[in-house]
Amino acid sequence: MRTTSTLILLLLATITLAAACAPKTGANDPHEAQIAALAEENAKLRREIDALKARYEAPAATPAPPIETRCAKAGDRWKLTPSGRAELVGNTTGVRRDLHPTPVFGDGKFVGYRVHSMEPTSIGISCGLENGDVVLKVNGLVPSVRMEAELMTAKRVEIEILRGEKPRTLVIEISS
């Protein structure tokens, strides 16, 4: 009988200990408030992310103007028309996305950006770039996002590229 009562006491102690260690879900649980606050913060952050995505995503795609109305070949140069300039100024994010620039490194150093997966109607193609070209310099500078403002007012743009293994320079005259 003594063994049975010891076993019952041990069983009761185990149940009591398990109940004390079990997570509480009642209104008095101090973690409930913390969990609710974290869930609310998570929802707020998701709303902020959605707002940022909407802000930075390109506007709804509109059909691209015909190539010849944006950039036309004039001898060994290209001439960017006012409609092509308007497209560049109004949608730099979309243009960058159309070029699909990928950093290229040689001997552990940054070389330039390879443009690829451009559609035949992209402004890059219409201004003389080809898929696979590596843009080395633009107006003598290593390409970067910071140069966009300078290019918006430029009257002429020289793009140094590698096409295959051959260096070339594309010259683009920009109409006002």
pLDDT of residue 5: 56
Q: Indicate the residue among 56, 77, 102 that finishes a domain.
A: 56
Q: Tell me if 21 is assigned to some domain.
A: yes
pLDDT of residue 9: 55
Q: Tell me if 61 is assigned to some domain.
A: no
CATH number, domain of 90, equals: 2.30.42.10
Same domain, 19 and 72: no
User: What's this model's pTM, rounded to 2 decimal places?
Assistant: 0.57
pLDDT of residue 27: 56
Same domain, 73 and 152: yes
Q: What is the dihedral of CA 70, 73, 77, 78, to 10 degrees?
A: 10
**Sheet strands (E) in the chain:** 71-74, 77-80, 102-106, 109-114, 134-138, 156-163, 166-174
Tokens found for residue 131? 């898929």
Same domain, 121 and 162: yes
Q: Tell me if 153 is assigned to some domain.
A: yes
User: How many angstroms separate the CA atoms of 17 and 10, rounded?
Assistant: 10
Q: Tell me if 155 is assigned to some domain.
A: yes
User: What is the number of structural domains in the chain?
Assistant: 2
**Sheet strands (E) in 33-84:** 71-74, 77-80
Same domain, 165 and 90: yes
Same domain, 42 and 120: no
Same domain, 40 and 93: no
The pLDDT profile of the chain, 176 residues, written as one tens digit per residue, is 555 555 565 555 556 555 555 555 555 667 788 888 888 888 887 787 777 777 666 555 555 555 556 777 877 788 877 777 777 666 666 677 778 888 999 898 988 899 988 888 787 888 888 999 999 998 888 887 667 667 777 788 888 999 988 999 999 888 76
Range of the structural domain that residue 121 is part of? 67-174
Q: Tell me if 62 is assigned to some domain.
A: no
pLDDT of residue 2: 54
pLDDT of residue 80: 79
How many residues are recorded in the chain? 176
Same domain, 170 and 96: yes
